[in-house]
């Protein structure tokens, strides 16, 4: 717990002076003021986060965390649990969607085993794979807590450690993503519990459930909430009762990034659930979060509304892995390039508005 508390204590406010300077420069660039809309606002926010009125995004990192879920035994996913380790190997071999989009934006992908229900065997040293396995998946939350309180703490602390080690390799911005068959079920439970929205409203079809599967998923979430009765005043208890190891890991990554003044680009529904846990632990983290996109998954809008942040785009995506975060990072980078590289009216010799 000490590591979590220390990390939270290090999260500061945005730098008002840097933001003021960035906005002042934006207003002198060769364009009508505010004509680039969100791109201008993003660059100002990044200035406030980094304490640099001319921020530059060079070292881009996507951290994709994997974990399995005991509740998958309840038939809440259209895919078998074996897909989780199979996709981890796909990430490591560079063949997944997140690898393609990371290459597209020039980011490195770091894959973290937080609780995959199989041993991930890496034949040779791989700097982009981290084994932080806490257990071989969570237990079935319809029969008791998904994990112990101690393991919930460990998952968050593991995420803090991952961010710290990756920062030493170079990091100007981080995107968070996930992999875990069945993980929309605990995420929906978290969203319903924290936001107060009905389970039916925030529960979607995940990997493609049919009508009967969706009905069963909703019933299992209600059962888990009723059985476990999370403590609304304790975010770690919420994570322990109805969460997942990768959700805890992403929570730690977000908290640590904010403590180091690193912008966090949130992917979709699962990473959004982690953002809710992080926000419950420290509301200050909202200033450091950038919502990449609006997921097709039913409860994502409730997450964003609760956090008070707006998505950058909506491409009807729902894959996870950090794919939306990768595209979001490219937009953040573009906003900073506008601020740094675009000429002012004076520099370009262009007449200003009378």
Q: Which residues are catalytic?
A: 321
CA distance 18 to 55: 10
Is 322 in contact with 98 (CB distance < 8 Å)? yes
Spatial CB neighbours of 247, under 8 Å, sequence gap ≥ 6:
67, 155, 178, 183, 186, 187, 190, 239, 270, 273, 274, 277
Q: Which of 244, 276, 250, 237 is nearest to 1 (CA)?
A: 237
Question: What sections of 196-234 are H helices per DSSP?
Answer: 199-202, 211-228
Specify the DSSP class assigned to residue 58.
-
Q: Is the dihedral of CA 284, 290, 296, 301 positive or negative?
A: positive
Tell the residue number behind the tokens 């609780």, with chain if given: 115
CA distance 354 to 129: 57
């Amino acid at each position: 717990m000490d590591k979590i508390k220390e990390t939270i204590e290090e999260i500061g406010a945005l730098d008002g002076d840097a933001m003021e300077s960035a906005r002042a420069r934006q207003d002198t660039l060769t364009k009508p003021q505010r004509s680039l809309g969100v791109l201008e606002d993003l660059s100002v926010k990044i200035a406030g986060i980094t304490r640099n009125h001319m921020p530059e995004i060079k070292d881009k990192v996507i951290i994709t965390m994997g974990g399995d879920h005991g509740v998958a035994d309840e038939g809440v996913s259209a895919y078998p649990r074996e897909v989780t380790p199979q996709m981890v190997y796909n990430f490591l071999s560079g063949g997944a969607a997140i690898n393609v989009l990371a290459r597209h934006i020039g980011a490195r992908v770091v894959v973290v085993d937080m609780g995959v229900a199989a041993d991930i065997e890496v034949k040779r040293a791989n700097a982009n794979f981290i084994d932080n396995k806490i257990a071989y998946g969570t237990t079935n939350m319809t029969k008791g807590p998904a994990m112990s309180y101690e393991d919930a703490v460990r998952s968050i602390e593991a995420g803090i450690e991952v961010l710290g080690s990756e920062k030493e390799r170079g990091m100007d911005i981080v995107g968070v993503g996930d992999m875990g068959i069945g993980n929309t079920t605990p995420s929906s439970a978290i969203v319903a519990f924290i936001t107060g929205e009905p389970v039916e409203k925030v529960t979607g079809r995940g990997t493609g459930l049919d009508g009967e599967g969706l009905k069963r998923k909703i019933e299992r979430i209600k059962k888990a909430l009723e059985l476990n009765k999370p403590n609304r005043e304790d975010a770690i208890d919420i994570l322990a009762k109805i969460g997942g190891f990768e959700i805890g890991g992403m929570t730690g990554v977000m908290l640590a990034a904010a403590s180091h003044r690193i912008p966090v680009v949130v992917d979709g529904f699962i990473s959004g659930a982690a953002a809710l846990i992080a926000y419950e632990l420290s509301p200050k983290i909202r200033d450091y979060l950038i919502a990449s996109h609006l997921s097709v998954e039913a409860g994502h809008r409730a997450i964003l509304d609760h956090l008070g942040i707006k998505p950058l785009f909506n491409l009807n995506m729902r894959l996870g892995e950090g794919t939306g975060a990768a595209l979001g990072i490219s937009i953040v980078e573009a906003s900073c390039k506008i601020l740094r590289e675009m000429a002012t009216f004076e520099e370009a010799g262009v007449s200003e508005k009378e």
